[in-house]
Amino acid sequence: MDGENDGQATERVVIRDRRKIDPKAEAKAKGSAEVKEKVAGGAHRAAEPEEGTETVVEADAVEPPAPALGAELEALRNELDERTHDLQRVTAEYANYRKRVDRDRSAAAELTTGAVLTALLPVLDDIDRAREHGDLVGPFASVAEQLTAVTGKLGLTPFGEKGDPFDPNRHEAVAHLTSADVTEATCVEVMRRGYTLGERLLRAALVAVADPE
């Protein structure tokens, strides 16, 4: 019986070993493993974006600028402010330069005009004397009127009339007398008229002055 029992026990062990190395079971297991790998591979490919598709990134996912970029922007802003201030300064200096040049040009033109008109004053004095004596007639009168008109357009203005208050800044007194007919120093006679060019005095008038008694 012991031998039989030993044989039966051995036979059961062999049966268990046959189940473990059963070719059908092994093939079935391999098939299941291949199916699982195919399913896993398909799921992995489905998760990857297809070629040619556009990937959208949410705005919140963009990282903020690095500190170095912020420092560079601040430096650029400072440089822009400096260049703006330089441009404003140069513009102001150029505007002042233009004003100064225009002012100097106007002053030079006025000086030149004044020099020419000053040279013509003796001719105007002769015209005044001829007018007082009644000699300003004929063609000479026409020439005198044209000359007076031209000098007037250039800004020459005569002054000095009898009865004008005496102004030492504009009149040159060549005679003094007293009179009960005046209450202040007054020009009672004009020997030679004075002239101005704009605000500039070209020549003072020669006058006789009467002071109150």
Indicate which CATH number applies to the domain containing 198: 2.30.22.10
**pLDDT of 125 higher than 60:** yes
Are the C-beta atoms of residues 175 and 192 closer than 8 Å to each other? no
The pLDDT confidence band at residue 69, using thresholds 50, 70 and 90, is confident
What is the rounded distance in angstroms from the CA atom of residue 74 to the CA atom of residue 162? 78
Residue 161 and residue 143 share a domain: no
Within-domain flag for 190 = yes
What is the rounded distance in angstroms from the CA atom of residue 164 to the CA atom of residue 136? 26
The number of distinct structural domains making up the chain is 2
- pTM over cut 0.85: no
Are the C-beta atoms of residues 209 and 175 closer than 8 Å to each other? yes
Within-domain flag for 196 = yes
> What angle is formed at CA 22 by the lines to CA 30 and CA 40, rounded to 5 degrees?
10
User: Which domain covers residue 210, as residue numbers?
Assistant: 156-213
Within-domain flag for 46 = no
- The last residue of a domain, from among 154, 173, 205: 154
Residue 143 and residue 100 share a domain: yes
**pLDDT of 172 higher than 50:** yes
Among 36-45, 111-120, 160-169, which is the least confidently predicted range?
Answer: 36-45
